[in-house]
């Protein structure tokens, strides 16, 4: 029995209440419940037992009418979408976020996907907890909501919070290594970790789908950075079960709640075809090699040698970018470490003299 501040199954049965319908994997890889997540967490999820929450709550914007704004055949959209009335949204947000705070272990993370209509309600609810904001991400997608009298809405907010108490999981080099470059020579890792993500929605013509589904690419990125294999990933609003399917595909355990019986029954049938760990083989393997002297303090002799080599390369009319790349290779240092020391040397007058001072390092 899960340790919880809510009612246990025994207490429910003693009151003559029906037990909540759920599907539980005998091997322990998943637990899914066809019920409201607030009551469901109290009944089925113990304190501090979840490693990561990724969830996309109802938007409180009459979601059952979204078909008016999308160019798609609603024949294939699963019925039974359950919306939250706008006037109840603030209290609804406080209730489910309080449960999320309780079930997260210390150091665990939560990602909440939200539109802008009730973003303030969610932020107020989050700020009433002990959870700490890490990033306010923006997801830019295709197929925006079409309008004629204002700008087209084509982004969602992703609120990334962690629970204090322990160091959080953040796998910095899980997708791109520190030395990997873009085609234009920039840092691939830096680009991937910027806080604006351009990821397309998934186009599924002729396939049964939920009202609003998060793309596999988006969920994979979140789970790679903020969880490890074997971790328990929870989605409080399962909907299309996208989070759960990606979690299982990446060899994480999955837990979640879905209030709509129509959506729940349809997606449970699809879960049976999911092969645990199947997505792992599709992940690119990052080059995690690091510069040989990365992290080692610079000595005075190192700085003198760097200044001399910089002057020599500059005298050969090389482009600034090529100079820095050469210095990184020769000194076994990262680009930012080299740039920082060059800036210090320039400010101290060790690289140039007179009017040249400071003029050569604008690229840093």
Dump pLDDT digits (tens) for 6-47. Answer: 443 434 444 444 455 789 999 999 999 999 999 999 999 999
pLDDT tens figures, 341-363: 999 998 888 886 444 444 444 44
The share of the chain scoring above pLDDT 70, in percent, equals 83
What pLDDT does 278 receive? Answer: 97
Neighbouring residues of 256: CB distance < 8 A, sequence distance ≥ 6 = 31, 32, 33, 37, 234, 235, 236, 237, 238, 241, 243, 244
To the nearest whole number, what is the mean pLDDT of the chain? 85
What pLDDT does 220 receive? Answer: 98
The runs of H, that is alpha helices, within the chain are 9-14, 37-44, 89-103, 119-127, 188-192, 216-226, 242-249, 261-271, 300-314, 320-331, 335-347
What pLDDT does 205 receive? Answer: 54
What pLDDT does 94 receive? Answer: 97
What pLDDT does 6 receive? Answer: 40
Which of the two residues, 322 and 355, has the higher pLDDT score? 322
**Mean pLDDT of the 297-313 span:** 93
pLDDT category at 295 given cuts 50, 70, 90 is: confident
What pLDDT does 62 receive? Answer: 59
Return the number of other C-beta atoms located less than 10 Å from residue 133's C-beta. Answer: 12
Most confident option among 4-8, 172-176, 311-315? 172-176
Taking the C-alpha atoms of residue 101 and residue 124, their distance in angstroms, rounded to an integer, is 14
Question: Does the pLDDT at position 282 exceed 80?
Answer: yes
**Sheet with 232-235, side-by-side order of all strands:** 22-24, 30-33, 253-257, 232-235, 50-55, 104-114, 153-162, 132-145, 196-198
User: Could you tell me how many helices (H) and strands (E) the chain has, helices first?
Assistant: 11, 9
Question: What is the helix (H) or strand (E) element at residue 199, kind and residue range?
Answer: none
3-state secondary structure of 53: strand
Structure token digits, residue 99 = 């449960």
Question: What is the helix (H) or strand (E) element at residue 233, kind and residue range?
Answer: strand 232-235
Neighbouring residues of 156: CB distance < 8 A, sequence distance ≥ 6 = 113, 114, 115, 138, 139, 141
pTM of the model: 0.78
pLDDT tens figures, 229-278: 999 999 999 999 999 999 999 999 999 999 999 999 999 999 989 999 99
């Amino acid at each position: 029995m899960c340790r919880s501040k809510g009612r246990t199954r025994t207490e429910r049965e003693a009151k003559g209440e029906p037990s909540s319908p759920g599907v539980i994997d005998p091997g322990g890889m998943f637990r899914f419940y066809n019920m409201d997540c607030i009551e469901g967490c109290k009944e089925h999820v113990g304190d501090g037992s979840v490693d990561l929450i990724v969830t996309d709550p109802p938007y409180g914007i009459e979601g059952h009418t979204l078909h008016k704004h999308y160019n798609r055949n609603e024949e294939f959209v699963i019925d039974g979408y359950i919306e939250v009335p706008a006037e109840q949204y603030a209290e609804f947000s406080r209730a489910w976020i309080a449960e999320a705070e309780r079930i997260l272990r210390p150091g665990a993370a939560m990602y909440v996907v939200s539109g802008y209509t009730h973003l303030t309600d969610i932020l107020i609810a989050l700020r009433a907890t002990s959870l700490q904001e890490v990033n306010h991400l923006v997801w830019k997608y295709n197929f925006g909501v079409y309008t004629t009298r204002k700008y087209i809405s084509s982004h969602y907010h992703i609120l990334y919070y962690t629970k204090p108490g322990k160091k959080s999981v953040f796998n910095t080099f899980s997708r791109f290594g520190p030395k990997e470059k873009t085609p234009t020579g920039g840092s691939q890792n830096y680009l991937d970790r910027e806080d604006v993500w351009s990821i397309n929605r998934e186009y599924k013509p002729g396939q049964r789908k939920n009202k609003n589904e998060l793309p596999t690419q988006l969920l994979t990125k979140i789970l790679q950075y903020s969880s490890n294999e074997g971790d328990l990933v929870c989605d409080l609003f399962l909907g299309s079960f996208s989070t759960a399917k990606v979690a299982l595909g990446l060899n994480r355990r999955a837990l979640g709640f879905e209030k709509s019986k129509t959506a729940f029954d349809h997606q449970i049938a699809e879960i049976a075809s999911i092969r645990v760990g199947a997505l792992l083989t599709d992940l690119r393997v990052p080059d995690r090699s690091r510069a040989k002297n990365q992290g080692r303090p610079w000595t005075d002799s190192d700085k003198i040698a760097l200044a001399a080599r910089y002057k020599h390369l500059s005298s050969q009319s090389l482009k600034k970018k090529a100079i820095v790349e050469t210095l990184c290779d020769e000194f076994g240092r990262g680009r930012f470490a080299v740039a920082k020391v060059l800036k210090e040397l320039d400010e101290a007058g060790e690289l140039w003299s007179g009017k040249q001072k400071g003029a050569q390092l604008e690229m840093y």
